[in-house]
């Protein structure tokens, strides 16, 4: 699937104003302008500080939440933190637990097992929490849809404080406090915090109420940044402040578990890429394989030796996850090719023995490969009801599509881009047919992946200093993508496939200037071009260090033959 190239409409006047006012080069000023950063906001964007956080008490029900927690502490009540099994939930639980522990308050935590409990609150978990003597339950990264479960907890005389960042339904739970900036009555100036961001704001609010030093909540920003980057929330506004400051702490983290995991992943440069592709998948692997508590214990490790042992265990879970993923992916591709599903507008697959903690990752890969909405359903242990995950493309509302198929489903939930579902095996063929019809009626075949290009640049103008100047834009992620640029009419001087044809490596020439380019997962392009071809390329620019020598290279996103 080839990309559609689109270019920002560069506001040259604003670019010049940013250049002059902040003494930055034109390339950096162009990217800032393209990101709609007004000149008055550039200083905060580039160098946010601890004073740039919003007032936590502007969040819905924050006052009630803080007062009830302080009452529980005063009365020595039993407090439980109820989290989630992904990185956001694990880091949320870690931050809140650590904050209480530093106050001398012992709390317990509960993380549901993804494989047999699923996401969010459930009555069986509440039974266990009640049996342990819980008086106050605080949810993190979940709870906003747990209306019935909150009422069930009340039967045990358990008070509940919900902290969440997901969209509420028509009604919100009747809890002591519901701290969620996506509430319809929200007045907080930013609504895109991750779950760990909301937990952090709760710590900030308690600290302010107790008149604690700022460091008593700021010291957790390494863990907050980890969860925020991993949860793919927009890295703008307060998320930008969290992650920008948090990355500084991550590079010198005092958390034994995080430090051990960073060392084992082998990233020499600890940036948002290292978090997104090195740390997050390994923590998530624990939840996917049904061992979320072990990720929590890693971040609670109290010595380097303990952390190293736990981190190695997590690496093994990730290896298991990769093995499952490879097996499912290969079987899915074989099914698609044998049934010629790649010619459809959608892809709906079912597999026996597929691991339902992993099918979501494979669904993402299938969607990326074919650029079609996909549903993958696994039938484990001969069960007649399968569990599945779906992923979508921009322009096709997956949740809305499943709503139209709800008579064929046992249950589903999610949003426009990702869903979870359950379906009887006997209904899978009809679901495949109905879903395909909806995709066809939605003109999915007219949708293409878009590369939004910041500007057209000349290879001759690139330098080590210029590329390094763009590092101030870090951390990159949702809402703050790594800038990409177009380079036109370059000559291919060398080209070869790497890693058994998976990747591609080129040397490109413009006049007397040469530059290397690396294209990850673009190895198939090696057969489409030859030495001497004139090409236009799109990619990000980055530093490559080899043999102690730094040079600029293009991280390739797409390549086409130059039209003369």
Confidence at residue 225, expressed as pLDDT on a 0 to 100 scale: 97
- Token pair listed for 494: 């060398």
State whether 278 and 173 are in the same domain.
Answer: no
**Confidence (pLDDT) at 80:** 97
The answer on 257 and 281 residing in a single domain is yes
Q: What is the pLDDT along the chain (564 residues), one digit of tens a residue?
A: 678 999 999 999 999 999 999 999 999 999 999 998 888 899 999 999 999 999 999 999 999 999 999 999 999 999 999 999 999 999 999 999 999 999 999 999 999 988 888 788 999 999 999 999 999 999 999 999 899 999 999 999 999 999 999 888 889 999 999 999 999 999 999 999 999 999 999 999 999 999 999 999 999 999 999 999 999 899 999 999 999 999 999 999 999 999 999 999 988 889 999 999 999 999 999 999 999 999 999 999 999 999 999 999 999 999 999 999 999 999 999 999 999 999 999 999 999 989 988 999 999 999 999 999 999 999 987 789 999 999 999 999 998 999 999 999 998 887 788 888 999 999 999 999 999 999 999 999 999 999 999 999 999 999 999 999 999 999 999 889 999 999 999 999 999 999 888 999 999 999 999 999 999 989 988 889 999 999 999 999 998 887 778 899 999 999 999 987
How does DSSP assign 237-280, residue by residue?
Answer: HHHHHHHHHHHHHHTT---HHHHHHHHHHT-SS-SHHHIIIIIH
CA distance 166 to 230: 15
Does residue 58 contact residue 183 with C-beta atoms inside 8 Å? no
Per the CB < 8 A criterion, the answer to whether 248 and 219 are in contact is: no
Query: Cα torsion for 43, 46, 47, 53, to the nearest 10°?
Result: 80
- The reply to whether 17 falls in a domain is no
Statement to judge: residues 85 and 204 lie in one domain: yes
Query: Does residue 165 sit in the same domain as residue 186?
Result: yes
Of 430, 446, 462, the position where a domain reaches its end is: 446
Question: DSSP character for 157?
Answer: T
If asked whether residues 154 and 277 sit together in one domain, one would say no
| The model's pTM | 0.91
Residues 171 and 72 in one domain: yes
Dihedral over alpha carbons 71, 73, 77, 80 (to 10 degrees): 110
Q: Are 103 and 245 within one domain?
A: yes
What is the Cα–Cα distance from 516 to 205, expressed in whole angstroms?
50
The residue from 429, 446, 463 where one domain ends is 446
Buried b (16+ CB within 10 A) or exposed e, 367-395: bebbbbbbbbbbbeeeeeebbbbbbbbee
Assigned token pair, 466: 């210029």
Q: Which long-range contacts (CB under 8 A, 24 or more apart) does 456-461 make?
A: 456/7, 456/485, 456/486, 456/487, 456/488, 457/27, 457/485, 457/486, 457/487, 458/487, 458/510, 459/487, 459/490, 459/508, 459/510, 459/513, 459/515, 460/510, 460/511, 460/513
| Inside any domain, residue 41 | no
Return d(Cα 204, Cα 442) in angstroms, integer: 46
Report d(CA 69, CA 93) in Å as an integer: 15
Residue 245, domain CATH: 3.90.1640.30
159: in domain:
yes
Last residue of a domain, one of 333, 359, 389: 333
What residues make up the domain containing 510?
6-10+451-561
Residues 461 and 420 in one domain: no
Percentages (nearest 5) of helix, strand, coil residues in the chain: 45, 20, 35
Do 426 and 321 fall into the same domain? no
Q: What is the pLDDT of residue 1?
A: 60
**Euclidean distance between CA atoms 389 and 413, whole angstroms:** 10
Can you give the CATH number for the domain in which 397 is found?
3.10.310.30
What is the model's pLDDT at position 396?
95
C-alpha–C-alpha distance, residues 193 and 181, integer Å: 8
| Within-domain flag for 191 | yes
Instruction: Say if residue 82 is in the same domain as residue 209.
Output: yes
CATH at 525: 2.40.50.460
**Does 287 share its domain with 198?**
no
Rounded CA-CA distance 81/153 in Å is: 14
Count the domains in the chain. 4
Strand partners, 5: 451
Q: Is residue 39 part of a domain?
A: no
Residue 43 inside a domain? The answer is no
Whether 495 and 442 share a structural domain:
no
Position 131 in a domain: yes
Strand arrangement of the beta sheet that strand 374-379 belongs to: 347-352, 374-379, 385-391, 418-424, 411-414
69 domain residue, yes or no? yes
């Amino acid at each position: 699937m080839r990309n559609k190239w689109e270019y920002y409409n560069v506001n040259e006047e604003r670019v010049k104003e940013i250049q002059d006012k902040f003494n930055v080069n034109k390339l950096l000023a162009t990217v800032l302008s393209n990101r709609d950063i007004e000149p008055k906001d550039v200083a905060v964007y580039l160098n946010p500080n601890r004073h740039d956080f919003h007032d936590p008490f502007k969040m819905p029900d924050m006052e009630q939440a803080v007062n009830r927690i302080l009452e529980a502490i005063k009365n020595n009540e039993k407090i439980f933190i109820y989290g989630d099994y992904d990185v956001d939930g694990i880091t949320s639980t870690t931050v809140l637990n650590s904050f209480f522990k530093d106050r001398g308050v012992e709390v317990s935590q509960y993380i549901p097992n993804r494989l047999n409990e699923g996401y969010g609150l459930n009555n069986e978990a509440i039974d266990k929490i009640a049996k342990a003597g819980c008086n106050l339950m605080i949810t993190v990264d979940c709870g906003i849809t747990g209306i019935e479960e909150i009422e069930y907890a009340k039967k045990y005389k358990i008070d509940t404080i919900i902290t969440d960042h997901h969209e509420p339904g028509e009604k919100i739970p009747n809890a002591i406090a519901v701290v969620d900036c996506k509430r319809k009555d929200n007045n907080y100036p930013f609504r895109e915090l991750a779950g760990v961001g909301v937990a952090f704001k709760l710590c900030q609010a308690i600290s302010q109420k107790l008149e604690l030093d700022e460091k008593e909540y700021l010291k957790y920003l390494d863990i907050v940044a980890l969860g925020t980057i991993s949860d793919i929330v927009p890295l703008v506004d307060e998320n930008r402040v969290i992650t920008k400051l948090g990355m500084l702490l991550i590079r010198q983290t005092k958390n034994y578990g995080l430090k051990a995991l960073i060392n084992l992943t082998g990233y020499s440069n600890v940036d948002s890429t290292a978090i997104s592709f090195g740390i997050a998948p390994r923590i998530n692997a624990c939840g996917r394989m049904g061992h979320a508590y072990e990720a929590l214990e890693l971040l609670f490790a109290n010595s380097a030796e303990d952390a190293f042992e736990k981190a190695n265990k997590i690496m093994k879970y990730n290896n298991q996850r990769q093995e499952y993923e490879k097996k499912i992916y290969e079987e899915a591709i074989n099914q698609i090719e044998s049934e010629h599903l790649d010619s459809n507008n959608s892809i709906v697959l079912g597999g026996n023995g597929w691991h339902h903690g992993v099918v979501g990752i494979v669904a993402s890969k299938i969607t990326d490969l074919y650029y079609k909405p996909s549903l993958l359903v696994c039938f484990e242990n001969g069960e007649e009801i399968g569990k599945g995950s779906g992923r979508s493309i921009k322009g096709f509302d997956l949740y809305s599509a499943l709503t139209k198929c709800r008579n064929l489903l046992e249950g589903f939930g999610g949003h426009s881009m990702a869903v979870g579902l359950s379906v009887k095996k006997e209904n899978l063929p009809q679901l495949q047919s109905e879903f395909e019809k909806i995709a066809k009626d939605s003109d999915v075949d007219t949708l293409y992946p878009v590369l939004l290009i910041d500007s057209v640049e000349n290879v001759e103008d690139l330098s080590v200093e210029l590329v390094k100047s763009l590092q101030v834009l870090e951390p990159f992620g949702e809402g703050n993508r790594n800038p990409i640029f177009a380079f036109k009419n370059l000559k291919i001087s060398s080209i070869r496939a790497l890693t058994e044809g998976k990747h591609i490596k080129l040397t490109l020439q413009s006049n007397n200037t040469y530059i290397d380019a690396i294209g990850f997962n673009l190895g198939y392009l090696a057969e489409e071009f030859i030495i001497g071809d004139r090409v236009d390329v799109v990619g990000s620019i980055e530093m490559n260090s080899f043999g102690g020598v730094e040079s600029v290279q293009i991280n390739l996103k797409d390549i086409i033959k130059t039209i003369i």
